[in-house]
Amino acid sequence: MRYVSGEEEQQAFKYISEAAESAGASLRV
């Protein structure tokens, strides 16, 4: 896993969270 800036990390987390929600899955990061 690569380290990214705080802003990039938040965008990635939001994308993952939305994808998991749309799939009806709970995701642990």
pLDDT of residue 23: 78
pLDDT of residue 17: 84
**pTM given for the model:** 0.47
What is the DSSP code string of 1-29?
Answer: -----HHHHHHHHHHHHHHHHHTT-----
- Predicted confidence (pLDDT) per residue in 1-29, tens digit: 566 678 888 888 898 888 878 877 555 55
pLDDT of residue 19: 85
pLDDT of residue 22: 80
